[in-house]
Amino acid sequence: MRGIGGGAGDGLDDEGRWLPYPLDELQEYLPAGRYDVLGMTAWSTNSEVVAARLLLPNQVYRPGALVLPSGRTIPPAFELDGSFGVWGWFEQEQPPQLEVFGLSGVEVTISGYVKIVRASAQSSRAGGVA
């Protein structure tokens, strides 16, 4: 699993909508290849943040998870155990982007994990065009 946060995002607006959050660390640590996303969990100390989702390149669906109030909260098992199968896929040079949803006027820090596995050449692709 890889971390999905660390720095502060640009902040949420007061209207409540999906806003981008940087996810730059993922690309620099992965060897070249295709990766399947099997799950995600996220948390924030800002209780105004309620959800996070991944934008996977060339795919329609945007899988995501509820944002938990702290890193000490146990996430639902289905968010990381692969129960939902492959959420989507991406190539190393085009990692997914993260969006968060909530109401706030302050900067937010999101932490968490994205569960990924290196895809085999013959595995099926969910959520988009192969």
- In this predicted model, what pLDDT tens digit does every residue of 11-60 receive, in sequence order? 555 567 788 887 767 667 788 899 999 999 888 877 778 889 999 988 99
Q: Give a three-class secondary structure readout of the chain.
A: CEECCCCECCCCCCCCEEEEECCCHHHHHCCCCEEEEEEEEEEECCCCEEEEEEECCCECCCCEEEEECCCCCCCCHHHCCCCCCCCEEEECCCCCEEEEEECCCCCCEEEEEEEEEECCCCCCCCCECC
Q: What is the mean pLDDT of the chain?
A: 76
Q: What pLDDT, on a 0 to 100 scale, did the predictor assign at position 48?
A: 77
Residue spans of the domains in the chain: they are 2-118
Res 107 pLDDT > 50: yes
Q: What pLDDT, on a 0 to 100 scale, did the predictor assign at position 82?
A: 80
